[in-house]
């Protein structure tokens, strides 16, 4: 938000995951170049409060200035899409777990996007999986997707 962006790699034709921390709360923005859209994910009742909107608008301005829609696009500006169909967190501690889980399902298996957080027992399991993955420096496909079974 301060505008001091340093050495950003070329993001042309890429999808970019941007974790955001505002007021000790983690959210996720996904900038999709081909769609010229920034999708916003907030596990706190899917709200897009003023501070969130200002951050996302600044991101959109950054992408508009540095990665304008191509000649074949009928759009002239990047669109902002607030995802409102996602699950809300049940406590004040799980926002980071939501961000990690959303990122994982968007990259690997989008059909689980709306399942993240649906079962409150899922969050402690996901925490353990993410901790183990960090320790072992590798993704564990089976335990992660098993947390969505029965939903």
Radius of gyration of the chain (CA): 16
Determine, yes or no, domain membership for 132: yes
Which pLDDT belongs to residue 49? 82
The Cα–Cα gap between 83 and 73 comes to: 23
> Which residues span the domain enclosing 132?
15-146
The Cα–Cα gap between 84 and 148 comes to: 20
Which pLDDT belongs to residue 145? 86
Tell me what the pLDDT averaged over the chain comes to: 88
Number of independent structural domains in the chain? 1
Using an 8 Å Cβ cutoff, are 119 and 149 in contact? Answer: no
Tokens 């709306």 sit on residue: 114
Which pLDDT belongs to residue 103? 96
Which pLDDT belongs to residue 102? 96
Which pLDDT belongs to residue 26? 95
Determine, yes or no, domain membership for 62: yes
pLDDT at 9 over 70: yes
Using one digit for the tens of pLDDT, what is the confidence trace for 103-149? Answer: 999 999 999 999 999 988 999 999 999 999 999 999 887 888 888 87
Using an 8 Å Cβ cutoff, are 97 and 144 in contact? Answer: no
Cβ neighbour number for residue 16 with a 10 Å cutoff: 16
Which pLDDT belongs to residue 133? 93
Closest CA to 106 of 121, 128, 86: 86
Cβ partners under 8 Å of residue 53, min gap 6: 80
Domain containing 54 — which CATH number?
3.40.395.10
Q: For 65-69, what is the mean pLDDT?
A: 84
């Amino acid at each position: 938000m301060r505008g001091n962006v340093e050495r950003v790699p070329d993001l042309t034709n890429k999808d970019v995951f941007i974790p955001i921390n505002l007021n000790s709360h983690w959210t996720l923005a996904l900038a999709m170049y081909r769609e010229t859209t920034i999708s916003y994910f907030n596990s706190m009742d899917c709200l897009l409060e003023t501070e969130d909107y200002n951050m996302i608008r600044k991101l959109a301005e950054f992408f508009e200035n540095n990665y304008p829609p191509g000649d074949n696009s009928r759009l002239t500006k990047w669109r902002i899409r607030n995802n409102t169909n996602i699950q809300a967190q049940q406590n004040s501690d799980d926002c980071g777990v939501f961000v990690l889980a959303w990122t994982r399902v968007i990259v690997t298996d989008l059909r689980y996007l709306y399942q993240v957080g649906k079962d409150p027992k899922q969050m402690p399991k996901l925490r353990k999986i993410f901790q183990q993955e960090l320790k072992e420096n590798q993704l564990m496909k089976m335990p992660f997707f098993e947390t969505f079974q029965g939903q």
